[in-house]
Structure 1
Amino acid sequence: MSLHEDHARLRVRVPGGADAVYAHVVEDGEAELIEGEQEYSSEGVSWYTVQIPLLAVVTPYRFAIVRGRRYIWLNQAGAHDHEVTDDGDFRLITGPNPPSWVPGTAVYQIFPDRFARDDDSLDPLTEHPDWAVPRHWDDEPSGSGPAAAVEYYGGTLDGVRRHLDHLADLGAEVVYLTPFFPARSTHRYDAAGFDEVDPLLGGDAALKALTREAHARGMRVMGDLTTNHTGDRHEWFETARADADSEEAGYYYFTDHPDGYVSWLGVRSLPKLDHSSPALRERMYGADDSVLLDRLGGSGHSAEDERLDGWRIDVANMTGRLGAQDVNHEVSGMIATRMREIAPQAWLLAEHFYDAGPDTRHDGWHGVMNYAGFTRPVWAWLNTGPEGVRYAATHTSAPLPTSGAAAAVRAMRTTNAGLPWRVRTHSVNALSTHDSARFATVVADPVLHAVGVAAQATLPGVPFVFAGDEIGLEGRDGENARRTMPWHRTGDWDQELLDAHRRLLRLHRILPALGAGGLRWLDSGEHHMTFLRSLGEQVVLVHLANGPHDERTAEFQDLDADGWETVESAGRVRARFDGKVGVGAEGPGHLVAVGTRRVG
């Protein structure tokens, strides 16, 4: 595909050729079929090109491959021999692109209270705020419950800075910090203000020092901002409750001032923000010195090497939504526009647990935390853990389902079909987060864990590692998973798993096709999935297995590439490249091979 000022030139690969190929485009509610031309044909594979007009903001399209009087419809979900809706269409978003550095990077998520202290002490800290319950560094966090949010271990931003060597050794290039604003909890999603960094974490000086050193190492630093709510001790909310006529009172949804108000999921300590307020918008993300833009350089107060490189937006899916009111797209579009004006290379990542497609088909969030299109399908396929493990943040007793690999592939194809491609490549592939059980507990097998790491490093999207996953930390739910890094007990670390992370994150970094390349599914069964990633002349073959299966060969003979070399292999998978390509497995494992494109 190539983009021009008013049109796009599309290319589509058609095994077996066709009598004609069309692009289906809808403009102003009316569909049109635009005929393409055959560009190239060799060894039973033909390439066609179609030129389509670029529409304002988003151009949706799919292909009609015509053979006789039969149509094959090709969209992001795959090929179909029946009529399909527009929902799975490919989508081009016009306008400035998101940051180009994102697809080739890897993210390391840090929950500051649990990562590292200023020093190597382990005992409960004697100095602590009145709301906190001090814990020994080796204490296991509670599961969900009132005490979980106030357990205080004493990690700091200087503690993070002390261990940047670990991130560099792992291959992580983005340091993502969960909230660092003052609050009355250690998760800090109940912000009490946005003007300073929590002194418990070391204050503004510690964040600036961390950012300077990370930048000096070629790393980036990303913050976490809640646009859906504040804490009930936030200065805005306290002003709003004290004066019903204040500007701040319009920032929230009061049903019976001052004690009746809407909060996130009914949690009284998290009053919900009302984005219909122009004053709130200006203060939150409109003005150059607003909460969101200030630390990206909007105010000019921070030196360039002390500025953040992006924000992860907490509860992005609920921001600007309440009942009949829905300004979510308007809000995300304004945030994206203002960020681009102030910091064009800053990343805007949205939390989204479910179907993110409808919220991404415009110029807004650059990417999402792709729980629906990656985490949940991979969990369902690879989980062998104990009873009681639940999906992230679902507030349900429903058990975690199980599926075969083919069903997981169908789930990924279906859910990701709703995401514009540029959104998918700027979204993250997480196996665990601070809101979920640990993947080590979900799979209960280090070999299967490595298969999951291979999936997150090779499928479209950005690898995302929750601190401690790389050494096998466990956790049965989101709160219990927020365990401390055992820096003083390296003998307990799973060194093989750590090494697998190093190797696979390195592959993601050095193979351009794994960052920005296209995706072609080749084969899947009960215990395996196989796919290609390709960019220019580079073609990457990936085979993932969670159990034994017979060798597959016939499915792989139109790969358009040769000169295959295995660059990563672990577990009990096997491959042969002897004129024919064959892959099989005697047990769980993964394999990555690189070839050179020979046609098209």
Structure 2
Amino acid sequence: MFLQHLPLAPWAERTGAGLRLTLLSDTPDLDEVHARFLLDNEETWLPLARTADMGRFACFEATIPWCPTGPTTRYCFRVLRGGAPHWLAATGMQRRVPNEAHHFRIAREPLVPAWAQQQLIYQIFPDRFARGPDAPRERPPHAFGYDKAPVHALEWGAPLDVKPAWSAFYGGDLAGIGERLGHLQALGVTTVYLTPVFSSGSNHRYDTEDYDHVDAGLGGDAALVALSQQLHASGMRLVLDAVLNHTGANHPWFNRFAQHEQPGAWQSPDSRWHGWYARDAHGHPVYWKGHQSLPVLDYAHPEVLDAFIRGRHSVLRRWLQPPVSADGWRLDAVHMLGEGPGAGNNAAMLRAMREAVRDENPEAILVGEHFSEASSWLQGDQEDAAMNYWGFTLPLWQWLAGVDFGGRAAPIATADLAAWLGESRAVVPHEVALAQWNALDSHDTQRLFTVLGSDEAVHGVALALQFGYPGVPCIYYGDEVGLEGGNDPDNRRCVDWSGASWRGGILERVKQFAAWRRDRAELREGACITLAHGDDWIAFARVNATAVTLLVANRGDAAEVLVPIDALPFDIARWVSPSGHTWTSDGRAIRLTLSARDAAWLWSVAA
């Protein structure tokens, strides 16, 4: 017996009366069919009625009431046949009641701005992307981080062989980004995400010294206004990086190096900002992961809340307002933010952020940075999405490269990959899964192309999954041309705009995959079904109400694979392979020939 339900229309439809559910079964003679759902955290049961068949499937339907508390209504299905119960949850069929974390979940109203699921994100580390006509700008001779350090002005692309690396600048700026928008548009990029741009002493700018102004080395406030206007005029969007957990040690509020006129929290208990920073049991400042350049803020202080979240011109609100009118925020280390020296009352802080941002702009998004599982922040009342390290990037690395982000040996079997990805999708609402930022790497990791030994074939498999799997592809600048990079700071190299070092095959592959994703709605909005897997290959289907795309990814040697398609909710009369693969089908399965380190695409064609 087989059961199927997808958490999108027409199988799950929002109505005024509640959530209308359709369950499909290849077995019509079922003794009982029930939906189990939660109202105020208490289980409730409702029988489903048999309705008109849908192709080869028997259909059962019921409308369950919306849960009056919590952002989502959670549900699963139980059928009884021959005295044996069978359950269906977001993780698939089971013989026992599913863990409630794995129930389907849908909200009465959309949780995520619709545009957020349609994007192709491009992450830029501004100092290393491109120089504008006025760059490089002269900087002060010294910067302040862990300590006072000399500033190094380097030629574009020169080796980074100076210490400390954080005070080495190549002179990339915001005007340089504007001059290269044609490159991004040719890729199909629709949203630019900038790592921090506010005034700081370092090249990474996660040690903010002034949240009210853009770093002069990037061109200042006017440059961000100009870039935002240029992006919006081109139909693109802008997401900024919010560093709210900590400031830089040289921020006037902390003033560790006595560079500012008024005494800061470091210098005096009488400072007006003394209570703004978290302290340990001995009264000493707390630093982010022990880095003494990054003192942690204390959100138990009402003025901190006002400065960053609640105030009419708080940091979160101000940069969403004209003339910059940013379209959202990526929230740095936000899971660590809170009251006191730890993440106390963190969820309340995130809810306050969501409320403030939505009040300022109902279409603005909040994307959290989480290297570990982020599901508790992604239930519809806090973040819209996360940088999907846990649910995409890490399992992909372990499956293709056999290592984790720390370079430790961590190979996984394909069955474990399927289970990991399936559980990661199941624990968040479907519309949130569609908005997750799926990156191959970032400024905080080695570049995957380097980890893979510069193997373009295996990297091509990774790209196929990045563009074919649920979520929004997030390209780290230079990945599209095969930019290499080891651990920080080597992962932040300058782009070679001469093109001499570019990997043209990677560039064309990115453009092709981006075009397919743009043209196929199911790749942006569809549910995901894991159809089958072998030792070294895995097959997914992306499905909406009218179309299907199949993606079969192979990390191993050449193979002939058989992919059953019985789990698809409707029959497909005709398939084509845009990737040029040879295939045959008997209507119940597809037989494919895969080359070594290969990815095959097939999609349905309307009759």
For residue 68 of structure 1, report the CA deviation from its aligned partner: 2.5
- Paired residue total: 575
Match of 2:211 in 1: 194
Match of 1:556 in 2: 565
Partner Cα distance (1:554, 1:137) in 2:
49
Instruction: Evaluate the alpha carbon distance shift between residue 322 and residue 568 of structure 1 in structure 2; reply closer, same or farther with a 3 A threshold.
Output: farther
For residue 135 of structure 1, report the CA deviation from its aligned partner: 2.3
For residue 129 of structure 1, report the CA deviation from its aligned partner: 4.0
Partner Cα distance (1:256, 1:89) in 2:
42
Instruction: Evaluate the alpha carbon distance shift between residue 256 and residue 578 of structure 1 in structure 2; reply closer, same or farther with a 3 A threshold.
Output: closer
Instruction: Evaluate the alpha carbon distance shift between residue 75 and residue 323 of structure 1 in structure 2; reply closer, same or farther with a 3 A threshold.
Output: farther
Quick one: which of 291, 311, 318 aligns to 1:267?
291
Q: Render the CA deviation track for 1:245-297: whole Å, top value 9, x for unaligned.
A: 55532321134898x11111111111111122222111102122110111111
Match of 2:157 in 1: 138
Partner amino acid for 1:457?
A: F
Q: Render the CA deviation track for 1:357-397: whole Å, top value 9, x for unaligned.
A: 1222241100001111100111111117xxxx750xxxx5x
Contact 1:527 1:549 in 2 (8 A): no
Matched, 1:458 2:468: yes
1:492 aligned counterpart, secondary structure: coil
Matched, 1:54 2:79: no
Matched, 1:76 2:93: no
Match of 2:238 in 1: 221
Quick one: which of 7, 19, 25 aligns to 1:8?
19
Quick one: which of 565, 575, 578 aligns to 2:583?
575
Q: Render the CA deviation track for 1:482-503: whole Å, top value 9, x for unaligned.
A: 1110002x12101111000001
Match of 1:87 in 2: 101
Contact 1:229 1:273 in 2 (8 A): yes
Which aligned pairs between 1:246-325 and structure 2 lie closer than 5 A? 247-255=272-280, 260-297=284-321, 302-303=322-323, 306-320=324-338
Match of 2:457 in 1: 447
Q: Render the CA deviation track for 1:497-533: whole Å, top value 9, x for unaligned.
A: 1000001111112211111111111111121111111
Match of 1:527 in 2: 536
Q: 5+ unaligned residues in a row in structure 1: which ranges? A: none
For residue 439 of structure 1, report the CA deviation from its aligned partner: 1.3
For residue 417 of structure 1, report the CA deviation from its aligned partner: 2.2
Instruction: Evaluate the alpha carbon distance shift between residue 561 and residue 597 of structure 1 in structure 2; reply closer, same or farther with a 3 A threshold.
Output: farther
Q: Render the CA deviation track for 1:32-71: whole Å, top value 9, x for unaligned.
A: 2222123343564233223222112222222223322222
Partner amino acid for 1:317?
A: H
Contact 1:105 1:508 in 2 (8 A): no
For residue 196 of structure 1, report the CA deviation from its aligned partner: 0.4
Partner amino acid for 2:370?
A: H
Partner Cα distance (1:139, 1:20) in 2:
70
Partner amino acid for 1:448?
A: V
1:364 aligned counterpart, secondary structure: coil
1:204 aligned counterpart, secondary structure: helix
Q: Render the CA deviation track for 1:177-227: whole Å, top value 9, x for unaligned.
A: 000011111110010010100000000111111111111111111100112
Match of 1:97 in 2: 111
Match of 1:352 in 2: 370
For residue 344 of structure 1, report the CA deviation from its aligned partner: 1.1
Contact 2:336 2:342 in 1 (8 A): no
Identity %: 31
Partner amino acid for 1:49?
A: E
Which aligned pairs between 1:159-170 and structure 2 lie closer than 5 A? 159-170=176-187
Instruction: Evaluate the alpha carbon distance shift between residue 92 and residue 597 of structure 1 in structure 2; reply closer, same or farther with a 3 A threshold.
Output: farther
1:509 aligned counterpart, secondary structure: helix
Instruction: Evaluate the alpha carbon distance shift between residue 161 and residue 31 of structure 1 in structure 2; reply closer, same or farther with a 3 A threshold.
Output: same
Quick one: which of 358, 368, 382 aligns to 2:400?
382
Match of 1:404 in 2: 413
Partner amino acid for 1:464?
A: C
More off after superposition, 357-366 vs 112-121: 112-121
Instruction: Evaluate the alpha carbon distance shift between residue 565 and residue 282 of structure 1 in structure 2; reply closer, same or farther with a 3 A threshold.
Output: same
Partner Cα distance (2:53, 2:15) in 1:
25
Contact 1:561 1:595 in 2 (8 A): no
Partner Cα distance (1:578, 1:72) in 2:
28
Partner Cα distance (1:9, 1:146) in 2:
62
More off after superposition, 82-91 vs 437-446: 82-91
Match of 2:228 in 1: 211
Contact 2:167 2:202 in 1 (8 A): yes
Quick one: which of 225, 246, 252 aligns to 1:235?
252
Contact 1:531 1:542 in 2 (8 A): yes
For residue 429 of structure 1, report the CA deviation from its aligned partner: 0.7
Partner Cα distance (1:153, 1:566) in 2:
47
Partner amino acid for 1:342?
A: E
Match of 2:549 in 1: 540
Contact 1:539 1:597 in 2 (8 A): no
For residue 167 of structure 1, report the CA deviation from its aligned partner: 0.3
Partner amino acid for 1:178?
A: T
Partner amino acid for 1:524?
A: H
Q: Render the CA deviation track for 1:445-491: whole Å, top value 9, x for unaligned.
A: 11111111111111110000000000111112242111110002x12
Partner Cα distance (1:113, 1:2) in 2:
47
For residue 331 of structure 1, report the CA deviation from its aligned partner: 1.2
For residue 76 of structure 1, report the CA deviation from its aligned partner: 2.0
**Over aligned residues, Cα RMSD in angstroms?**
2.5
Partner amino acid for 1:284?
A: F
For residue 161 of structure 1, report the CA deviation from its aligned partner: 0.6
Quick one: which of 586, 591, 595 aligns to 2:604?
595
Partner Cα distance (2:291, 2:490) in 1:
20
Instruction: Evaluate the alpha carbon distance shift between residue 254 and residue 118 of structure 1 in structure 2; reply closer, same or farther with a 3 A threshold.
Output: same
Contact 1:16 1:44 in 2 (8 A): no
More off after superposition, 242-251 vs 445-454: 242-251
Partner Cα distance (2:76, 2:15) in 1:
19
Q: Render the CA deviation track for 1:531-550: whole Å, top value 9, x for unaligned.
A: 11112212211221122464
Partner Cα distance (1:340, 1:268) in 2:
34
Match of 2:269 in 1: 244
For residue 9 of structure 1, report the CA deviation from its aligned partner: 1.2
Partner Cα distance (1:109, 1:350) in 2:
14
1:457 aligned counterpart, secondary structure: helix
Quick one: which of 435, 442, 461 aligns to 1:426?
435
Instruction: Evaluate the alpha carbon distance shift between residue 543 and residue 150 of structure 1 in structure 2; reply closer, same or farther with a 3 A threshold.
Output: same
Q: Render the CA deviation track for 1:303-340: whole Å, top value 9, x for unaligned.
A: 3xx31111100012212266775322111111111211
More off after superposition, 172-181 vs 32-41: 32-41
1:182 aligned counterpart, secondary structure: strand
Contact 2:414 2:538 in 1 (8 A): yes
Match of 1:147 in 2: 164
Quick one: which of 480, 486, 511 aligns to 1:476?
486
Contact 1:528 1:549 in 2 (8 A): no
